[in-house]
Amino acid sequence: MNKKLHIKKGDTVFVNAGDDRGKTGRVLEVIKDKDRAIVEGINMVSKHTKPNAKHPQGGIIKQEAPIHISNLQVVDPTKGGPTRIGRRLDENGKLVRYAKKSGEEIK
């Protein structure tokens, strides 16, 4: 099943729930089957790692954990605040996302 989500990789999103509420960040990855996204600098967790090639010292590493997409809203490209997303056909008949707050197309 190919489901459409309101968030894509590279979007700037606003966190509206959880410990990082009110922060914004860029989406690094979207996990469609679990309805989650990994956002830069949001939902940081401590991971204990053994020494390996990437981290020869090992120890505790801070990294982003996935956050549910219902807690994220895309930031409006013109007004700057969080906005809801709509879909409409453009002049070429292609489905594009647009911000409901300003009506502007989201790239």
List, for residues 42-60, the tens digit of each pLDDT value. 999 999 999 999 889 999 9
Q: Which domain holds residue 36?
A: 12-76
The answer to whether residue 23 is domain-embedded is: yes
State the pTM of this model. 0.83
CATH of the domain at 67: 2.30.30.30
The answer to whether residue 53 is domain-embedded is: yes
Number of compact structural domains in the chain: 1
List, for residues 24-36, the tens digit of each pLDDT value. 999 999 999 999 9
pLDDT, residue 1, reads 59
Instruction: Return contacts of 17-21, CB within 8 angstroms, 24+ apart.
Output: 17/70, 17/71, 18/43, 18/67, 18/71, 19/43, 20/67
